Amino acid sequence: MRNNRVVFAKRPIGEPGDDCFRFEQVDVPELAEGQILIKVCWLSLDPYMRGRMNDVKSYTAPMEVGDVMIGESAGIVIKSRSDKFAVGDRVTAHMGWQSIIVANDNEPRLMKVDLNNGSLSAHLGVVGMPGRTAYFGLTEVGKPKAGETLVVAAASGAVGSVVGQLAKIKGLRVVGIAGGPKKCRYVKEELHFDACIDYKAGNLAAELAAACPDGIDVYFENVGGEVSRAVAPLLNPGARVPICGYISQYNSDDISKAETPFDIFGKLDPTPEHRFFVVTEWMDRWVEATRLLGGWVGEGRIKFRESIGEGLENAPEYFRGMLKGKNFGKQLIKVADED
């Protein structure tokens, strides 16, 4: 059996070109005691991957050239020498861009999937890492209260769409920011946000101010740049800003010199409560969050969309497209059928 994998070949300057990725085919080793073999069906593409390609200090170490490209996938156990996992179990594993994964059964980045909470692919999106990021970022860092106004950037995306719908469940006024009339229409008509501003239309600051007549109490940060600058003057005293990421700057030639949300919000007087967070802070509560999210999805209170690309060989092109906002909803790569 052979494993197709994508290796990080060189550090990008700006947008990662095809020369930043190398495709390899390698033999799959025999399993040792306590290991499982996973057939990957779905690969998740996420903005944080671009940050890990830079040789800069962050919340975690950068990738090294020669590493398998970082990423989470979902698949099916096809061989097992473990008493924790059986053939046929559905799992997620944060072990990179590859078609076959050999994993130790005590690997902390390995989770068994309960299909009662949603489809296998949904465990990479709405009930998986992006959904959990939305849940913990909003509830633990954003600390929302009924009647407040929340603004979320990248509102049609995997994280932003869940943030807004959770805030509606909790009784907030919710204003989304998204790129283009199609995404804004989806956010308003299908996700039932109170308003959605098209940042590409050219009137972001004025339209945002009109949509938030009582100011902004919680701003969930996914984008940075122009969007953060439009939000900043509207923040109320006591506002909270959970910082998930700032995708607008990820393809900067030198990310260390790029303007960050900390630059923008740190200059305000009064300075809003703002901090960067990572979903692993609440790793001991991941199963709890997935069950809650799965329940809301099952009840129709949280809706989601998936953008699906076909084939591991096309992952770099879809990755670049995601960083430019070409995807609509959670960006996935279908690697193999679920059979």
Q: Which residues on adjacent β-strands are paired with residue 74?
A: 42, 92
Report the interhelical angle of 160-169 vs 286-298 (nearest 10°): 70
pTM metric for this prediction:
0.91
Helix (H, G, I), strand (E, B) or coil at 152: strand
Is the CATH number of domain 129-280 3.40.50.720? Answer: yes
- Average pLDDT over every residue of 9-24: 95
The pLDDT > 70 percentage for the chain reads 96
Listed by start position, the domains of the chain span 2-125+304-334, 129-280
Per residue in 232-280, pLDDT (tens digit) is 999 999 999 999 977 666 565 565 667 788 889 998 889 999 999 999 9
d(CA 103, CA 22): 22
In order of 71, 144, 213, 318, the CA distances from 216 in angstroms are 34, 11, 9, 34
**Helix intervals (H) in 170-285:** 181-189, 204-211, 225-231, 261-266
Task: State residue 195's pLDDT score.
Answer: 98
More confident residue, 19 or 223: 19
Domain 2-125+304-334 has CATH 3.40.190.10: no
Q: Interhelix angle for 160-169 vs 129-136, to 10°?
A: 50
Write the DSSP symbol of residue 32: P
DSSP string covering 55-86: SS--SSPPPPTTSBPP--EEEEEEEE--SS--
